């Protein structure tokens, strides 16, 4: 029981900020490109309370952590925050600017992974031996890399799907957009069958290579 509580404590802060800063980044970049919808609703904020979804940010990740702990595996940590509202029609160049708005979330996760990596390096150099903070740093790196990789999957409505949509010619983009109503079902199916890890592996390897430069 103590081990489970400690695991939740180690992952809580990295997970909450990984998910909420991801969403805030979308709103911030959307504002730069002409859509201030998220700003008007107070969603371009570093306050986690403005982004937390009780199910996606708290319940689902905790259940997955507990399941992995009890079953002795690592699993894929999955979660989400309340999506930041973006009115793509208000962007100055809706289709082109969608690329940067979508990319902002995964980029924020990569930046946070690098931040946690730098924290680990400084902490190790300090000579301190409190493993709770070391484990939290590792959790921060891993959580952010997994969320970055998952959101870069080329499946609408994930960020990777938005990026692909913005890069496709108009007619192809329209046909591609028709899978969006089924996108989350596809992700859940991949997760349930264990195939998700295969698709995440190349993106995780890339992220770990970048983080490795700082470790």
pLDDT at 181 (0 to 100) = 93
Average pLDDT of span 6-15: 84
For the stretch 74-129, pLDDT in tens is: 555 666 778 888 998 999 999 999 999 999 999 999 999 999 999 999 998 888 87
User: What is the pLDDT at residue 43?
Assistant: 87
Question: What residues make up the domain containing 174?
Answer: 2-212
CA triple 172-146-91, angle to 5 deg: 45
Output 37 or 191, whichever has higher pLDDT.
Answer: 37
Task: Return the pLDDT at 197.
Answer: 83
Contact 211, 145 (CB under 8 A): yes
Task: Write the DSSP assignment of the chain as a string of letters.
Answer: -HHHHHHHHHHHHHHHHHHHHHHHHHHHHHHHTT--HHHHTT-S-S-GGGT--IIIIIIHHHHHHHHHHHHT---------PPPP--GGGSSSHHHHHHHHHHHHHHHHHHHHHHHHHHHHHHHHHT---HHHHHHHHHHHHHHHHHHHHHTSS-TTSHHHHHHHHHS-HHHHHHHHTTGGGHHHHHHHHHHHT-HHHHHHHHHHHHHHHHHTT-
**Number of domains the chain is built from:** 1
Q: Which two tokens stand for residue 124?
A: 């190790």
Pick from 8, 12, 30: nearest CA to 86: 30
| 180 catalytically annotated | no
- pLDDT value of position 119: 93
Annotated catalytic residue: which of 23, 35, 97, 159?
23
Give pLDDT tens digits for 149-205.
999 999 999 999 999 999 999 999 999 999 999 998 998 898 888 888 888 999 999
Q: What is the mean pLDDT of residues 121-138?
A: 87
- Report, as an integer, the average pLDDT of 44-61: 81
What pLDDT sits at residue 63? Answer: 78
Mean pLDDT on 3-28: 87
- Residue-level pLDDT at 124: 86
């Amino acid at each position: 029981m103590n081990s489970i509580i400690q695991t939740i404590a180690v992952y809580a802060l990295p997970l909450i900020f990984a998910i909420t800063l991801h969403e805030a980044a979308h709103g911030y970049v959307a504002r730069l490109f002409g859509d201030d919808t998220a700003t008007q609703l107070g969603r371009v904020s570093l306050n986690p309370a403005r982004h937390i979804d009780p199910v996606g940010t708290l319940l689902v990740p905790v259940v997955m952590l507990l399941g992995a702990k009890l079953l002795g595996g690592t699993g894929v940590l999955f979660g989400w925050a309340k999506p930041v509202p973006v009115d793509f029609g208000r962007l100055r160049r809706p289709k082109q600017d969608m690329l940067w708005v979508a990319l902002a979330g995964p980029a924020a996760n990569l930046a946070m992974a690098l931040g946690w990596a730098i924290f680990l390096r400084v902490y190790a150099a300090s000579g301190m031996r409190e493993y709770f903070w070391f484990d939290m740093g590792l959790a921060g790196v891993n959580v952010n890399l997994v969320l970055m990789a998952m959101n870069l999957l080329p499946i609408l409505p994930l960020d990777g799907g938005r990026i692909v949509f913005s890069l496709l010619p108009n007619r192809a983009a329209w046909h591609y957009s028709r899978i969006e109503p089924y996108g989350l079902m596809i992700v859940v199916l991949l997760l349930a069958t264990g195939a998700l890890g295969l698709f995440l592996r190349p993106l995780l390897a890339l992220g770990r290579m970048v983080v490795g430069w700082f470790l």
